[in-house]
Structure 1
Amino acid sequence: MSKNINELFSSVNIQSIKGFWDVEIQNIQFDSRKVADGDLFVACRGTLSDGHNYIRESIEQGARVVVCEELPEETSSEISYILVENSLLALSQLASNYYALPSKNIQLVGVTGTNGKTTIATLLYQLFRKLGYKVGLLSTVCNYVDDKKIAATHTTPDPMQINLLLSEMVAAGCEYCFMEVSSHAIDQNRTTSLHFKGGIFTNITHDHLDYHKTFDAYLKVKKNFFDDLDKKSFVVTNVDDKNGKLMLQNTKAHKFSYSTRSFADFRCQVLEKHFTGMLLEMDGVEIWTNFIGDFNAHNLLAVYATARLLNQSKEEVLKGISELISVAGRFESIISPEGIMAIVDYAHTPDALKNVLDSIDALRTKNEQVITVVGAGGNRDKKKRPLMAKIAAEYSDKVILTSDNPRSEDPELIISEMKAGVIFNDLRKVLCITDRKEAIRTACMLAQKDDIVLVAGKGHEDYQEIKGVKHHFDDKEIIREIFKL
Structure 2
Amino acid sequence: MTELKDILYKVAINAVVGNTAMSVNKIEFDSRKVEQDDVFVAIRGSVSDGHDFIEKAVDLGALVVICEQVPDIVVSGVTYVEVEDTQSALAIMASNYYDSPSGNLKLVGVTGTNGKTTIATLLYQLFKKAGFKVGLLSTVKIVVDTTVYNATHTTPDSLTINYYLKEMNNAGVEYCFMEVSSHGIHQKRTEGLDFAGGIFTNLSHDHLDYHNTFKEYRDVKKTFFDELPTKAFALVNKDDKNGSFMIQNTKAKQHTYALKSYADYRGQILESSLEGLLLKLNDHEVWAKLIGSFNAYNLLAIFGTAELLGLETLETLQLLSDLQSVSGRFQYLISDEKITAIVDYAHTPDALKNVLETINDIRTNNETLITVVGCGGDRDKMKRPVMGNIAARLSNKTIFTSDNPRTENPDQIIEDIEKGVEPQDYKKTLSITDRKQAIKTACQLANKDDIILIAGKGHETYQEINGERTDFNDFEIVKQELKKLNK
Indicate whether the TM-score tops 0.5: yes
Within the alignment, does 1:301 sit opposite 2:273 as a pair?
no
Q: CA deviation at 1:72?
A: 1.2
Deviation at 1:6, TM superposition (A): 0.9
Q: Is residue 2:125 matched to residue 1:120?
A: no
How much does 1:8 deviate? 0.5
Counterpart of 2:453?
Answer: 454
Q: What is the Cα deviation at residue 283 of structure 1?
A: 1.8
Cα distance in structure 2, aligned partners of 1:120 and 1:348: 17
Supply the distance in 1 between the matched residues of 2:31 and 2:465 (Cα, whole angstroms). Answer: 27
* TM-superposition CA deviations, 1:400-420 (whole Å, max 9, x none): 000000000000000000000
How many Å apart are 1:106 and its aligned residue?
0.5
Which amino acid in 2 is paired with 1:208?
A: H
Structure 2 residue matching 1:109: 3-state secondary structure: strand
Q: Which SS does the other structure have where 2:95 is aligned? A: helix
Paired residue secondary structure (1:273): strand
Q: Does 1:414 align with 2:417?
A: no
Partner of 1:185: 184
Corresponding residue number in structure 2 for 1:61: 60
Aligned length, in residue pairs? 484
Aligned equivalents of 1:271 and 1:95: distance in 2?
Answer: 47
- Provide the rounded CA distance (Å) in 1 between the counterparts of 2:22 and 2:214: 45
Post-superposition offset of 1:225:
0.2
Cα deviation, residue 34, structure 1: 0.6
Q: TM-score scaled to structure 2, two decimals?
A: 0.99
Q: Aligned to 2:321, what secondary structure does the other structure show? A: helix
Q: Hey, what does 2:385 align to over in structure 1?
A: 386
**Residue equivalent to 2:313:** 314
2:22 maps to: 23
User: Which residue number corresponds to residue 361 of structure 2?
Assistant: 362
Map 1:96-115; keep pairs closer than 5 Å: 96-115=95-114
Separation (CA, whole Å) in 2 of partners of 1:402 and 1:74: 53
Note the C-alpha offset of 1:297.
Answer: 0.2
Cross-structure match for 2:86: 87
For 1:340 and 1:350, the matched residues in 2 are separated by 25
Offset, 1:86 = 0.2
Distance in 1 separating the partners of 2:177 and 2:355: 25
| Counterpart for residue 241 of structure 2 | 242
SS of 2:81's partner is strand
How far has the Cα of 1:192 moved from its partner?
1.1
Q: CA deviation at 1:466?
A: 0.6
Which secondary structure does the structure 2 equivalent of 1:454 belong to? strand
Match in the other structure for 2:232: 233
Map 1:214-363 → 2, pairs under 5 A: 214-363=213-362
SS at match of 1:209: coil
Q: Deviations over 1:438-478 (max 9, x none)?
A: 00000110000000000000000000001111110000111
Cα drift, residue 112 of structure 1:
0.1
What SS class does the counterpart of residue 195 from structure 2 fall into? Answer: coil
1:59 corresponds to which letter in structure 2?
A: V
Q: Deviation digits for residues 190-241 of structure 1, max 9, x if unmatched?
A: 0011000000000000000000010000000000000000111100000110
* 1:160 counterpart residue number: 159
Look up the SS of the partner of 2:279 in the other structure.
strand
Q: Which amino acid aligns with 2:372?
A: V
| Corresponding residue of 2:38 | 39
Residue correspondence of structure 1 range 414-433 to structure 2 within 5 A: 414-433=413-432
CA distance in 2 between partners of 1:173 and 1:113 (Å) = 29
Distance between the aligned counterparts of 1:57 and 1:444, measured in 2?
54
Q: Which runs of 4+ in 1 moved over 2 A?
A: none
For 2:56 and 2:430, the matched residues in 1 are separated by 51
In structure 2, give the amino acid aligned to 1:169: M
Could you list the per-position Cα deviations for residues 320-341 of structure 1 after superposition, in whole angstroms to 9, with x for gaps in the alignment?
A: 0000000000001111111110
Gap regions ≥5 residues in structure 2: none
- In the alignment, the residues of structure 2 paired with residue 482 and residue 440 of structure 1 have an alpha-carbon distance, to the nearest angstrom, of 8
- What CA distance in whole angstroms lies between the structure 2 residues aligned with 1:134 and 1:223? 30
Give the Cα–Cα distance (whole angstroms) in 1 for the partners of residues 190 and 20 of structure 2.
27
What's the CA shift string for 1:251-306, capped at 9, x where partnerless? Answer: 00000000011100001100001111011111211111001110000000000000
Separation in 1 of the partners of 2:401 and 2:334? 22
**CA–CA distance in 2 between the matches of 1:373 and 1:97?**
47
Task: Specify the code of the residue in structure 2 equivalent to 1:198.
Answer: G
For 1:209, the equivalent position in structure 2 comes to 208
CA distance in 1, matches of 2:134, 2:241: 32
In structure 1, list runs of 5 or more residues that go unmatched: none
User: How many Å separate the matches in 1 of 2:157 and 2:277?
Assistant: 37
Matched AA of 2:228: L
Letter in 1 for 2:305: T
Paired AA for residue 201 in structure 1: F
Name the SS for the 1:339 alignment partner: coil
Q: Which amino acid aligns with 2:184?
A: A
In structure 1, what is the Cα distance between the partners aligned to 2:231 and 2:475? 43
> Once the 2 structures are TM-superposed, how far is the Cα of residue 74 of structure 1 from its aligned partner?
1.3
> What code does the residue aligned with 2:275 have?
T
Aligned to 1:170: 169
Distance 2:397 2:58 in 1: 58
Distance 1:420 1:61 in 2: 51
* TM-score, length basis structure 1: 0.99
Match of 1:200 in 2: 199
The Cα shift of 1:481 comes to 1.1
